[in-house]
Amino acid sequence: MRGDDRGSATAEFAVVVPAIVLVIALTAGCLAAAGRQVRLEQGVAQAARLAARGEPADRVAGIVAAVAGGAVDGVSDDGDLVCVSASAPTRLPLPVPPLRARSCALSGGR
């Protein structure tokens, strides 16, 4: 090595490490958001089944909050179906829209 190249590996390492840490953190955050979306979809499906059975609105909202930490945006009748839509925050430190899900279940004769 020549004398003027001393410390170049350390400087390059110091520049690259923050970028790698940022990529790993964003990847972990996106995977967590994807898992939260799956839980939100499962919670909304369960909430739609409860709403179709005629359960109270607080129980319908409670299942979405318990499963995915989300909130019910609305319950609507669509012919023979009862549909529930909900949203949940992504909890990422980025300006991204909230997660959303909608599910319908066959009405139990309401």
The whole-number pLDDT of residue 109 equals 58
Question: Averaged over 82-95, what is the pLDDT?
Answer: 90
**pLDDT per residue as tens digits for the range 70-79:** 999 999 998 8
**Structure confidence by residue, pLDDT tens digits, 46-68:** 999 999 998 999 999 999 999 98
The Cα 34–Cα 19 span in angstroms is 23
Q: How many CB atoms lie within 10 A of CB 84?
A: 28
Query: Amino acid identity, residue 26?
Result: L
- Annotated domain spans of the chain: 7-106
Joined tokens for residue 60: 């319908």
For the whole model, what pTM was predicted? 0.81
